């Protein structure tokens, strides 16, 4: 079980009427699973509230029922209350921190929520999730919930097959968006029998010494800053960041990749949100692109990586790994470039 915060600026009431939360892109909710605990955060100039606890009962699906006045957010999950639904102000987290002599941690947690209020879904660590749950139980005001409103349009489960057909991958041989590429891989990593899972498992084991089964998989956000990572695999000994690109490397702006490497390389170093006994944990940055023939951009990116990691004065081993993907036979094949 994992903990998440799903965010909205003004539609908390609609979410709680339908027990449904929606996002604009599939990847934001692709990693959420049945049984995960979610908290709903509404942050605007009038209110900064958190509602919950809520338990996920239906994972990613596509549905065009009109829930929100803006008539959007069609990639959705559904949840159910875990007992009464409570509402707290974000400042209640700080009060709980004072009483539990953990004020600094709660202060940072509040900052984390406020800084990332624009994200659809924020991955939480177990400690963060349990602190919010504890605060809801101690200081929460009961929220009057009503009978769940029914979705009046077809519910389509978002599966790997759905993403494959949506992107017409049998003909296109390339994803239409990076968000769909991310969603496809995350859904594949939920299926231990898939070819993609086995390939990922072999790659992570090769460079980190740990298998996927002994890891925690995050997407979009975990390292403690507002700059999201596509897929992050945390093991006892390593931090593995997968940066996904739908195009071949020669079509990608190198300066953008430099920015991504810089942020993940440095923010991961002493992140309090990544459990690590010391700073010597291995850092692996995997750049995943469409299969190509031009290898010249790799040299430029490798030089950038070496320059950035040479500034780190801690005894941590850092690796840059180039991976390419190819689509055939209803399968995504991933291999080292």
Residue 225 has pLDDT above 90, yes or no: no
What is the domain partition of the chain in residue ranges?
A: 3-157, 160-336
Q: What region, left, alpha or beta, does residue 35 occupy, with left being phi > 0 and alpha being psi -120 to 50 degrees?
A: left
Consecutive H or E run containing 333: strand 331-336
pLDDT of residue 272: 74
Taking the C-alpha atoms of residue 104 and residue 131, their distance in angstroms, rounded to an integer, is 12
pLDDT of residue 293: 62
Taking the C-alpha atoms of residue 309 and residue 335, their distance in angstroms, rounded to an integer, is 24
Domain 3-157 annotated CATH 3.10.590.10 = yes
Taking the C-alpha atoms of residue 190 and residue 46, their distance in angstroms, rounded to an integer, is 39
SS3 label, residue 337: coil
Please state whether the predicted TM-score (pTM) of the whole model is above 0.85: yes
| 180, two tokens | 């769909």
Give residues with Cβ within 8 angstroms of 7, minimum separation 6: 40, 41, 42, 43, 116, 117, 118, 119, 120, 121, 122
Q: Which value, to the nearest 10 degrees, does the dihedral of the CA atoms of residues 89, 94, 95, 99 take?
A: 150
Residue 279 has pLDDT above 60, yes or no: no
Q: How many alpha carbons fall within 13 Å on the CB side of residue 224?
A: 16
Q: How many alpha carbons fall within 13 Å on the CB side of residue 80?
A: 7
pLDDT tens digit sequence for 102-152 = 999 999 999 888 888 777 898 998 999 999 999 999 999 999 877 888 898
**Burial state string for 29-47 with b = 16 or more CB within 10 A and e = fewer than 16:** bbbbeeebbbbbbbbeeee
pLDDT of residue 275: 63
Q: What is the 3-state secondary structure (H, E, C) of 209-229?
A: CCCHHHCEEEECCCCCCCCCC
| 139, two tokens | 């200081």
pLDDT of residue 280: 62
Sheet with 238-248: strands ordered across: 216-219, 231-234, 238-248, 282-290, 318-328, 331-336
CATH class belonging to 160-336 = alpha beta
pLDDT tens digit sequence for 281-297 = 788 999 999 987 667 78
Taking the C-alpha atoms of residue 32 and residue 158, their distance in angstroms, rounded to an integer, is 12
End-to-end CA separation in angstroms for the chain: 35
């Amino acid at each position: 079980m994992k903990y998440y915060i799903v965010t909205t600026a003004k539609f908390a009431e609609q979410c709680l009427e339908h027990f449904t939360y929606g996002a604009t892109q599939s990847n934001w909710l692709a990693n959420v699973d049945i049984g995960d605990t979610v908290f709903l955060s509404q942050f605007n100039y009038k209110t900064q509230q958190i509602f919950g606890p809520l338990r996920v009962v239906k994972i990613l699906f596509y549905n065009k029922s009109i829930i929100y006045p803006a008539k959007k957010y069609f990639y959705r999950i559904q949840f159910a209350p875990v007992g009464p639904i409570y509402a707290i102000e974000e400042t209640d987290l700080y009060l709980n921190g004072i009483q539990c002599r953990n004020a600094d941690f709660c202060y940072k947690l509040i900052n984390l929520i406020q800084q990332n209020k624009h994200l659809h879904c924020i991955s939480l660590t177990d400690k963060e999730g349990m602190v919010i749950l504890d605060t809801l139980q101690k200081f929460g005001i009961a929220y009057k919930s009503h009978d769940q409103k029914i979705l009046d349009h077809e519910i389509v489960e978002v599966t790997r097959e759905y993403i494959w057909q949506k992107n017409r991958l049998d003909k296109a041989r390339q994803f239409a968006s990076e968000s769909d590429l991310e969603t496809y891989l995350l859904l594949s990593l939920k299926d231990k029998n898939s070819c993609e899972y086995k390939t990922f498992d072999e790659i992570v084991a090769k460079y980190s010494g740990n298998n996927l089964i002994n890891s925690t998989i995050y997407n979009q956000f975990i390292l403690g800053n507002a700059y999201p990572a596509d897929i992050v695999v945390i093991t006892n000994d390593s931090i593995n960041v997968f940066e996904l690109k739908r195009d071949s490397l020669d079509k990608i702006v190198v300066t953008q990749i430099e920015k991504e490497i810089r942020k993940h390389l440095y923010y991961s170093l002493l992140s309090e949100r990544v459990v690590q006994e010391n700073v010597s944990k291995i850092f692996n940055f995997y750049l995943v692109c469409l299969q190509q023939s031009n290898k010249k951009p790799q040299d430029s990116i490798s030089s950038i990586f070496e320059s950035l990691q040479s500034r780190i004065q801690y005894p941590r081993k850092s690796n840059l790994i180039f991976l390419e993907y190819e689509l055939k036979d209803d399968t995504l094949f991933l291999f080292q470039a």
